[in-house]
Amino acid sequence: MQDISPEFYLKMYRDMRLIRVFEQTLESEFKKGNVPGMLHIGVGQEATLAAIANVLRTEDGLFPDHRCHGLLFLKGSPGERIMAELFGRSTGVCSGKGGSLHSADASVNNFGDNGVQGSFMATALGVALGWKMQGTDRFAAVVVGDGTSGRGEWHESLNLAAAWKLPLLYCCVNNGYAISTPVGFSHATGELYEFARSYRMPAVQVDGNDLVACYEATLKAAEYIKEGNGPAFIEYKTWRWQGLFSGEFRSEEEIQYWKVEHEPLSMARTDILKKGFATEAELIALEQGVEEEIASWVTYAKESPMPDPKKATANVYVGWEVEAK
Ligand SMILES: Cc1ncc(C[n+]2csc(CCOP(=O)(O)OP(=O)(O)O)c2C)c(N)n1
Ligand SMILES: [Mg+2]
């Protein structure tokens, strides 16, 4: 594996920071009532998400789950239009109709999420089959949580992708819980990569809070897929700061470990300083730049008009457009 250059390391760190500030800003705007609908945020999972984003090319596909707002803009959609989408504004990538769970952007091959956990794992098979039949080296990353591995589509998808050698990269974000159910409580194994190995695809487990480890594992898997070998699977062991609902169900020791001792941004930051890739002052400037960029996205969203009710059915069903009363 080639060494990661200082510029690229700093770019990925900046991406992590963008995700953190984006999500925390969104959460605070949500609490003020400015963000409609449901909201699940990816704070704590930034190393995993930034690594995936930096391996995908524009022509590759993305099937993001409900904690992937960061991937929506890192995939290439303009950040202010993702923010506007979450604010339900007409300038959003789906004209404000997608929101947190249903945002897609075909121009960057983001196929979007939906409210049924794991259902897009079946859709992804069709996309990957099409690209394979066209003889391209395009592949799609399917980002799914640990809880989703109990779903039928999860196993059906892995099975068919392996049988037909489809170009899919399964990115399993194991944050330890589905809502508040620990992964080992509801699965035959808490080591989810073992499931994938039984479907005869290369499968590894990485520290999902270690940026470089995540990037190297993701890149290696992507190269294997692009060579036409079929699917690969990565289990990123990480932790989300937010529960599914408010209220905390995890122990003090667990929180201390993941939020302080093994926190992904400070781990990357410490490593950058240790390697001499940037000075403290340069990192502070970079972090301030991120704050300003996200603030400008919020301003854009807030100043954007609400969708026109008359266009409620536009682009929803082909040929079914009706005039709203
Ligand atoms: C088929 C289905 N069952 C239940 C739900 C409700 N639900 C939404 S998120 C979630 C937990 C998912 O856990 P996991 O995949 O581990 O993702 P995490 O929230 O931990 O990132 C559940 C059960 C759903 N959306 N779809
Ligand atoms: Mg989970």
- Ligand 1 centroid vs 147 CA: distance in angstroms? 6
pLDDT in tens, the chain (325 residues): 668 999 999 999 999 999 999 999 999 999 999 999 989 999 999 999 999 999 999 999 999 999 999 999 999 999 999 999 999 999 999 999 999 999 999 999 999 998 899 999 999 999 999 999 999 999 999 999 999 999 999 999 999 999 999 999 999 999 999 999 999 999 999 899 999 999 999 999 999 999 999 999 999 999 999 999 999 999 999 999 987 666 788 999 999 999 999 999 999 999 999 999 999 999 999 999 999 999 999 999 999 999 998 888 887 777 766 665 5
Strand order in the sheet with 168-174: 61-63, 140-145, 168-174, 232-237, 203-207
146 lines ligand 1 (CB under 6 A): yes
Segments forming the whole domain that contains residue 144: 6-304
- Separation CA 85–CA 206 (nearest Å): 32
Helices (H), 227-279: 252-256, 264-275
Four-residue CA torsion sign, 270, 275, 280, 282? negative
**Ligand 1 atom nearest to 67, measured from its CA:** 21
81 lines ligand 1 (CB under 6 A): no
* pTM of the predicted protein model: 0.96
Indicate the burial class of 122 (C-beta count within 10 angstroms; 0-12, 13-18, 19 or more): middle
Which ligand sits nearest to residue 150's alpha carbon?
1
The number of beta carbons lying within 10 Å of the beta carbon of residue 168 is 32
- Ligand 1 centroid vs 178 CA: distance in angstroms? 6
Structure tokens at 243: 């529960």
The number of distinct structural domains making up the chain is 1
- Separation CA 79–CA 53 (nearest Å): 14
Q: How far apart, in Å, are the Cα atoms of 76 and each of 14, 33, 53, 71, 170?
A: 15, 27, 9, 9, 20
Q: For residue 143, how many C-alpha atoms fall within 13 Å in the half-sphere facing its CB?
A: 30
**Ligand 1 atom nearest to 40, measured from its CA:** 19
- Ligand 1 centroid vs 163 CA: distance in angstroms? 27
Give the CATH number, domain containing residue 176: 3.40.50.970
Mutate which of 49, 179, 235, 245 for ligand 1? The one with the most ligand atoms within 8 Å of its CB, which is 179
The number of beta carbons lying within 10 Å of the beta carbon of residue 234 is 28
- Separation CA 99–CA 93 (nearest Å): 9
245 lines ligand 1 (CB under 6 A): no
175 lines ligand 1 (CB under 6 A): yes
* Residue 312 within a domain: no
115 lines ligand 1 (CB under 6 A): yes
- Separation CA 201–CA 215 (nearest Å): 19
Q: Give the amino acid at 52.
A: I
- Separation CA 121–CA 223 (nearest Å): 21
218 lines ligand 1 (CB under 6 A): no
69 lines ligand 1 (CB under 6 A): no
- Separation CA 41–CA 241 (nearest Å): 9
* Residue 320 within a domain: no
- Separation CA 235–CA 238 (nearest Å): 9
